[in-house]
Structure 1
Amino acid sequence: MPELPEVETVRRTLENLVLEKTIRKVEVSWPKMIKKPDDSSAFRVQLGGQTIHGIGRRGKFLTFQLDDYVLVSHLRMEGKYQMAEEDPPDKHTHVRFYFEDGTELRYKDVRKFGTMHLFNKGEEERELPLVQLGPEPYEDPAFTGTYLQRICKKTSRDIKTVLLDQRAVAGLGNIYVDEALFHAGIRPDAKAASLSKNRIYRLRTCVTDTIERAVARGGSSVRSYVNGNGDMGYFQLELYVYGRNKEVCHICGTPIEKCITAGRGTHYCPQCQRR
């Protein structure tokens, strides 16, 4: 699933591709993808004539700022936006946005897990799915060491589960949680409430640094992720633990181990991340 750095990269790419374009019409071939309004035909009608004035991001969600509405889009596992290149579109193209200038933006999703919600402007932050999101570790002053310490001290969960909880920290997923915990020297299965203030503050810094470096590298193309131009990210070349089971640690030479934590495949160094 694309995480914050990948979605941020898609956002930046789309800004260069569709900003100030006016939607002529929309076609939806997989109506289940449209969660609001309930009727996909209403979705199509409401978007007609709307101009895209900005593209934002909240956690792992893209937000298209239109004249009267905000379109909230979640890519889920393998969703991607691309400008039309081939005609007819392939079988994985499920939503097509036709613009007045003759260009076309397509939403493709092999697994069909992606979602789209259309809100009246100003309502998107007061309703699901955005209303439940916590602060995020990228350009968000609310994500402080004090905040993270407060979240950790009031739970019995392990630290990886806390960081994956979008209500606690928005935008993090398996890749960047494993990487941040490695750089902080914290085991993924450590109880969040057991961590000292200094370790939590260091973790907060490591989470933010990891995300910032990943954004600068265009995200991680470890599966099918590409940006709106079809380009890969390159942060996967800088991963220390994620996806490196049984490979030697870049720091100490100990083989990386894999376990299941928070129901997810989890990578860590048993030497650098001692209990």
Structure 2
Amino acid sequence: MPELPEVETMRRDLAPLLRGRRIARVRVHHEDLILGGMTGRAFGRAVRGRTFGGTDRRAKYLLFPLHADGLDGPVERLMRVQVRMTGRFALASERPRGDEFRHPGVDFSLDDGRTLFYDDVRRLGGFDLLTRAAWRARAAALGPEPLARTFTAAGFARILAPLRAPIKNALLDQRRLAGVGNIYASEALHRARIDPRRAAGSLDVAETRRLHRAVRTVLREALADAGTTLRDYRAVNGLSGSFQTRLRVYQREGSRCTRCAGSIERIVQAGRSSFFCPACQR
């Protein structure tokens, strides 16, 4: 599933391309991609004629403020997108050819003749429309953004202190920390030399600082590489990320640890695979 670096890459790609563009027509190919109880026809009516403002991200969500009457008009709704495992975007005059865009989901025809295509083979993601107040309430339930300046090691320690859950599970809990998923949780724990099975609240000050630094570092490096493409994730217009060439433990079961030459192991925690080196993540 795309995590913070992948979704932020999509946001950075789309933001300059969509700002100021008006939605002329909408075609919903699959009703189940429209969330929140709204039909595809109602969704199309609600967004038609609206203008894209700035493209935002919170946790693993893409957010598109939709203005009435151009950019000078008020933002009536926020269009929230969950790309999940196989959602991807392309912006072009014609639908992209080839294997990358064979499962059309929603098409947004723009006023300049181009179309924003959303493709999703497994249709696990989707779109919904929220008022600003509704979004603020939902955003308040999410944890801090790990790359924000306000996310400090001391604040991270306060989050972890009362938790008995394994630290790997705590990192995946979006109520505790927004945007981190399975790949970067495993990678950060390896860099910080912390066993994923450790109780989150058992980390001492030094360990918490190491993990705080590791989370921020691995996310920044992945973002610089446009994310990790292992199978499904693609940036806008089918471009791939390259951070998969720098993974130290994720999906490397049986390989040698890059730090100590130990053997990478895989365990299952809360139904998710965790990869770690038992020799140096004690």
Q: Shorter-chain-normalised TM-score: which range?
A: over 0.9
Deviation (angstroms), 1:152:
1.4
1:229 match: secondary structure: helix
Q: Which residue of 1 aligns with 2:152?
A: 144
1:179 maps to which of 178, 182, 187:
187
Q: Which residue of 1 aligns with 2:127?
A: 116
RMSD: 1.7
Q: Distance in 2 between matches of 1:21 and 1:189?
A: 48
1:123 match: secondary structure: helix
Residues 14 and 55 in structure 2, CA contact (< 8 A), matched pair in contact too: yes
Q: Distance in 2 between matches of 1:78 and 1:235?
A: 18
Distance 1:88 1:183, change over 3 A: closer
Deviation (angstroms), 1:46:
1.2
Q: Which moved more, 1:253-262 or 1:158-167?
A: 253-262
Q: Which residue of 1 aligns with 2:248?
A: 240
Where does the alignment leave 5 or more consecutive residues of structure 2 unmatched?
Answer: 68-75
Q: Percent identity?
A: 39
Q: Which moved more, 1:20-29 or 1:146-155?
A: 146-155
Q: Which residue of 2 aligns with 1:164?
A: 172
Which letter maps to 2:184?
A: Y
Q: Distance in 2 between matches of 1:14 and 1:87?
A: 16
**1:26-82 CA-partner distances (Å, limit 9, x unpaired):** 111211221136233221111111111110100100001220221110101111111
Residues 20 and 53 in structure 1, CA contact (< 8 A), matched pair in contact too: yes
Instruction: Name the count of aligned residue pairs.
Output: 271
Which residues in structure 2 correspond to 1:1-275 (within 5 Å)? 1-36=1-36, 38-67=38-67, 68-84=76-92, 85-86=94-95, 92-127=103-138, 130-138=139-147, 140-274=148-282
Which letter maps to 1:25?
A: R
Residues 217 and 235 in structure 1, CA contact (< 8 A), matched pair in contact too: yes
Q: How does the TM-score come out when normalised to structure 2?
A: 0.91
Which letter maps to 2:115?
A: E
Q: Distance in 1 between matches of 2:185 and 2:235?
A: 22
Which letter maps to 1:111?
A: R
Q: Which residue of 1 aligns with 2:72?
A: none
Q: How does the TM-score come out when normalised to structure 1?
A: 0.93
Distance 1:186 1:41, change over 3 A: same
Q: Distance in 2 between matches of 1:229 and 1:54?
A: 19
Residues 36 and 43 in structure 1, CA contact (< 8 A), matched pair in contact too: no
